[in-house]
Amino acid sequence: MPNEVKVIRREDEMKRTLIIAEAGINHNGNMDIAKEMIQVAKDTGADIVKFQTGKTSYVMSKFAQKAEYQKTNTGSEGSQLDMCLDLTLPYPAFSELADECKRVGITFLSTPFTVDSVEYLNNIEMPFWKIPSGEITHLPYLIAIAKTHKPVVMSTGMCTMEEIEEAVKVLRDNGTKELSLLHCNTEYPTPFEDVNLRAMETMRQRFNVEVGYSDHTKGIEVPIAAVAMGATIIEKHFTLDRSMPGPDQAASLEPDEFRAMTEAIRNIEKAFGDGVKKPSPSEAGNIEIARKSIVALRDIKKGELLTDENIMAKRPANGISPMKWFEVVGTYAIRDFSEDEPIEI
């Protein structure tokens, strides 16, 4: 069984980033590919594998045009509806995918895109709702989500702070108690200069919630940086092969890349530490090697005055610390000292 997934964390808990492998519609409507993606997500170290649920004709009208990146990746012909008809799965498929996730040992999640898909997915075990950026201004949808009283993770791409505030109010007024926000940019791929990771902190302070980052840049650098800046949730698209057809494949990570991102994030978590500044266990043995002690610069006879001319600070730190330099200078040698021998007083 998958490990329990926690959305809201106490300040005193060790921060472990929740990593969501976004399968989305990269299965191209093929259940065999979707199930393979579940196993790949598990193998690459993700905590959750996430799909997308909604009747295509309910999500978009026949007049909805493709985004520019969708035209680039799938051709300019046809509408969004035409493009997505063959890429989506029927509702019963998601119950089957949830069972497959249990078998594999990874948490199942799917983003609803319509009110009726909220109703359907509410009967499938999921740790929280993931609201996509495009639905943040969909009032009936937000109310339907909130009335389930499940925790919510909401992406905020394309949003002003005022739009986020309005959506947060709707959710909280209608029953949502636990809420996290993901900073996001909805361009595929997102230009690095448009990422604006500092917006995470702005949202955290404004809404007093956990914040994370849903990434659409190429590569793995930005999600890793987001974790270093305090993101507690990372969502990233992945694919079995970027050369596969589909609008999101080109901005997705292949399995080896996703694994590298996950491993880097886990290393960053280890590097956070407890904030106490002290020698670490791994460097304790270097103190004597790297620091210095006061030694004889040349042979010194017993009774000779110790001065700046006959003593020096040299490695190792197996004698008097150079921080006591002025306690040593002006005293007399208590015995003969050979060159480089630690001084005693």
As a whole number of angstroms, the distance between CA 246 and CA 66 comes to 12
Same domain, 263 and 286: no
Q: Work out the average pLDDT over 186-204.
A: 97
Nearest to 126 by CA among 42, 7, 289: 7
The reply to whether 5 falls in a domain is no
Same domain, 223 and 326: no
Q: Work out the average pLDDT over 47-56.
A: 94
The reply to whether 13 falls in a domain is no
Helix, strand, or coil (residue 226) = helix
The token pair at 139 is 């009032």
Same domain, 209 and 267: yes
Same domain, 173 and 305: no
The reply to whether 114 falls in a domain is yes
Same domain, 299 and 168: no
12 pLDDT exceeds 50? Answer: no
The reply to whether 337 falls in a domain is yes
Is the distance from CB of 203 to CB of 144 less than 8 angstroms? no
Same domain, 151 and 268: yes
As a whole number of angstroms, the distance between CA 16 and CA 4 comes to 12
Helix, strand, or coil (residue 129) = strand
26 pLDDT exceeds 90? Answer: yes
Q: Where residue 322 sits, what CATH number does that domain have?
A: 3.90.1210.10
Could you say which of 232, 250, 272 is where a domain stops? 272
Same domain, 323 and 187: no
Q: Where residue 268 sits, what CATH number does that domain have?
A: 3.20.20.70
- Can you give the residue range of the structural domain that contains 94? 18-272
pLDDT for the residue 3: 45
The structure's pTM equals: 0.87
pLDDT digits (tens, 9 = 90+) for 314-325: 999 999 999 999
Same domain, 218 and 284: no
Same domain, 50 and 193: yes
H-only helix segments in 152-272: 161-173, 199-207, 221-228, 255-272
pLDDT for the residue 81: 61
| Numbers of helices and strands, H then E, in the chain | 13, 10
pLDDT digits (tens, 9 = 90+) for 239-262: 999 999 988 898 899 999 999 999
Q: What integer best gives the mean pLDDT of the chain?
A: 93
Same domain, 239 and 331: no
Going by pLDDT thresholds of 50, 70 and 90, the confidence category of residue 6 is very low
pLDDT digits (tens, 9 = 90+) for 77-87: 777 767 777 77
The pairing of beta strand 179-184 with beta strand 210-215 = parallel
Cα separation of the two ends of the chain: 66
Domain total for the chain?
Answer: 2
Q: Which residue has the tokens 């649920």?
A: 53
57 pLDDT exceeds 80? Answer: no
Biggest CA–CA distance in the chain, Å, is 100
The reply to whether 3 falls in a domain is no
Could you say which of 220, 250, 272 is where a domain stops? 272
The reply to whether 6 falls in a domain is no
Taking CA atoms, 153 is separated from 59, 127, 171, in Å, by: 20, 10, 11
Same domain, 132 and 27: yes
Percent of the chain with pLDDT over 90: 83
The reply to whether 54 falls in a domain is yes
DSSP letter string, 48-98: EEEEEE--HHHHS-TTPPPPHHHHHHH-SSS-HHHHHTTT---HHHHHHHH
The reply to whether 9 falls in a domain is no
Same domain, 82 and 37: yes
Could you say which of 218, 243, 272 is where a domain stops? 272
